[in-house]
Structure 1
Amino acid sequence: MSTPDPNNPYAAPAAPPQGQPPAQGWGAPQAPGAPQAPGAPGYGVPPQQGAPGQPWGTAAPMAMGQAPAGPKNVPVAVLTGLAVAVVAAVVYGFVMKSTEREFNWAVIGIAALVGFTIGKIGGKNPALPFVGAVFAVFSLFLGEFLAYAMALSDATDGEMSTVKAFTEHFDILWAAWKSEFDFISVVFTAAGLLVGFGVTKKVGES
């Protein structure tokens, strides 16, 4: 038999050596029983892309120790906010009584303090901003009534206690409070509602 001339473009391709299977092209099916590389997808299965930095066809490992954040404690937030509002009211009442002046703008600071407390503990909750707004104004009014009650107790030389002024002579406190409630008081009350709502909402969502 004559040997094909390698320089002849019309010559038939040389047959592979006897016993060696012909080379398979891209996408050709593998012979039955042919071994596959570990982790490689089988025939007809497209490779799947894993996480960045992971080999093809491997799943990204789950992050360890990262549990989803649980819901905030709304009842504790409400009770803590109420406690802060009462404490702020007592402080404001003593300041108002000792200076014999009314500081309506104090509601801004009270609202920020109450709102921050409720939002920080309660987190994102659609009802908490309204609670923060109400508690802020409640704290302001409670402090004013407390100041009037202490002033009434001083006017009676201590014969009427502050608690008794609240429980038995609240009508006197109410009349004194209404006589001092003017347009400026309305403006700062509205400001306290807005600040209490806004701070509670912003802190809860942060």
Structure 2
Amino acid sequence: MSQPVPPPGNPFADGAAPQQYPMAPPPAPARNNVALGLVAALVAALVAGGVYGALIGGIEREIGWAAVGVGFLVGLAAGKAGGRNPALPIASAVLSLGAVYLGQLVGIAILGAKELHLSATDLFFNEFGALTEAWNADKDPLTFLFFALAAFAAYSGAKKAAG
């Protein structure tokens, strides 16, 4: 027996419902937003710098891998939020330098507060000049190595995260 040939014209004339297809997924969010990348990098720099400072104050020494982590987090935030814009790796490297410096100042404030029996926040906000003088007196080549490591990690982290 042969198969019946469908009549020409409307295939749904016999009352058959058209086949239903699932809804298409929403489009991926645009990832080339420089402003969002900069804001994300700034927030990450402030948070990572504060955590780095608390770590310095808690263990009473600087750790190079923590500075690398600060830089990488800043770069990761910039790349993930901002996309492939070539300004973001550079901006994240600069922000990571500020984050490491902020962390070192917070660490000095915590250490100074322990010795002077003061609040670290009072020392940080009311005696900021004294903190920068203490940082200046305490800096050594290793301090600048931590800056370089953080900037490199931020630059490469932003490039990889945007990838």
- Alignment partner, residue 121 of structure 1: 81
CA distance in 2, matches of 1:150, 1:68: 44
CA distance in 2, matches of 1:66, 1:154: 54
CA distance in 1, matches of 2:109, 2:26: 54
TM-score (norm 1): 0.60
**Cα displacement string for residues 73-105 of structure 1 (whole angstroms, at most 9, x for unaligned residues):** 222221122111111122111111111111133
Q: Match for 1:134 among 90, 94, 99?
A: 94
- Alignment partner, residue 107 of structure 1: 67
Q: Match for 1:178 among 119, 136, 156?
A: 136
Letter in 2 for 1:165: L
Letter in 2 for 1:178: N
The reply on whether 1:83 has 2:40 as its aligned counterpart is no
Corresponding pairs, count: 140
Letter in 1 for 2:131: L
Q: Note closer, same or farther for the CA distance 1:148–1:68 as it changes in structure 2 (3 Å cut).
A: closer
- Alignment partner, residue 33 of structure 2: 73
Tell me the CA shift for residue 203 of structure 1: 2.1
Tell me the CA shift for residue 153 of structure 1: 2.3
Unmatched runs of 5 consecutive residues or more in structure 1: 1-63
CA distance in 1, matches of 2:138, 2:132: 10
Is the contact between residue 49 and residue 102 of structure 2 (CA under 8 Å) also seen in structure 1? yes
More helix per residue: 2
Higher Rg of the two aligned structures: 1
Tell me the CA shift for residue 65 of structure 1: 8.3
Letter in 2 for 1:83: V
Is the contact between residue 107 and residue 137 of structure 1 (CA under 8 Å) also seen in structure 2? no
The secondary structure found in structure 2 opposite 1:102 is: coil
State how 1:125-204 maps to structure 2 within 5 Å.
125-158=85-118, 161-204=119-162
- Alignment partner, residue 55 of structure 1: none
CA distance in 1, matches of 2:46, 2:64: 17
Is the contact between residue 31 and residue 81 of structure 2 (CA under 8 Å) also seen in structure 1? no
Letter in 1 for 2:136: K
The reply on whether 1:97 has 2:57 as its aligned counterpart is yes
TM-score (norm 2): 0.74
Letter in 1 for 2:73: L
Q: Note closer, same or farther for the CA distance 1:71–1:147 as it changes in structure 2 (3 Å cut).
A: closer
The secondary structure found in structure 1 opposite 2:32 is: coil
CA distance in 2, matches of 1:93, 1:67: 40
CA distance in 2, matches of 1:137, 1:68: 32
Tell me the CA shift for residue 142 of structure 1: 0.8
Runs of 4+ in 1 over 3 A off after TM superposition: 64-71
